[in-house]
Amino acid sequence: MTTAFWIQTGGSLVAVLVVAWLVGRIGLGADPRIADAEHAIRLAEEAEAGFGGVEVARDRAGFAAIVRNAEGRMMLVRAHGNFFAARPVDASVIGRLDKDFLTLTMAERTFGAVTLHLGKEAGMWASRMREIARA
């Protein structure tokens, strides 16, 4: 590795940080929310063609939702950057049920934990999710 290489790499790192900072500074970006049940079902469909969502538990702020299909399978959809990402969920991901809040902790650590404010439905959805494992 030559000195020129390290200067070039150092310069690149500085440029990278400046450009990324600039993106946020000038106001680029979005604040994606799941508008309603129909939107959640569409997002689940985009994540898995043919998923066929029929019922939705939507986080009050619209950051995430759980979509159930006719077979009883469930899909978690959550905001990621300007868009959304989704994962199938079952009993194994139930991290905590705290009154109106349901926290799902994925085995995939980089996907992270998601807390949904589901109101009184939180308990019901947790129970349903536990049934997926039993089935």
Binding-site ranges for other proteins (CB under 8 A): 1, 5, 8-9, 12-13, 15-17, 19-24, 26-30, 32, 42, 45-52, 70, 78, 80-87, 110-112
Closer Cβ to other proteins, 45 or 100, answer by number: 45
Give the pair of three-digit tokens for residue 37.
């049940």
Which DSSP symbol is given to 105?
E
Contact 77, 65 (CB under 8 A): yes
Closer Cβ to other proteins, 69 or 127, answer by number: 69
Closer Cβ to other proteins, 81 or 120, answer by number: 81
Contact 90, 74 (CB under 8 A): yes
Taking the complex as a whole, how short is the minimal distance between the CB of residue 30 and other proteins, in angstroms? 4
Taking the complex as a whole, how short is the minimal distance between the CB of residue 12 and other proteins, in angstroms? 5
Taking the complex as a whole, how short is the minimal distance between the CB of residue 18 and other proteins, in angstroms? 10
Alpha carbon distance 126, 72 (integer Å): 13
Q: Smallest Cα–Cα separation from 94: which of 47, 127, 55?
A: 127
Taking the complex as a whole, how short is the minimal distance between the CB of residue 7 and other proteins, in angstroms? 12
Alpha carbon distance 59, 36 (integer Å): 10
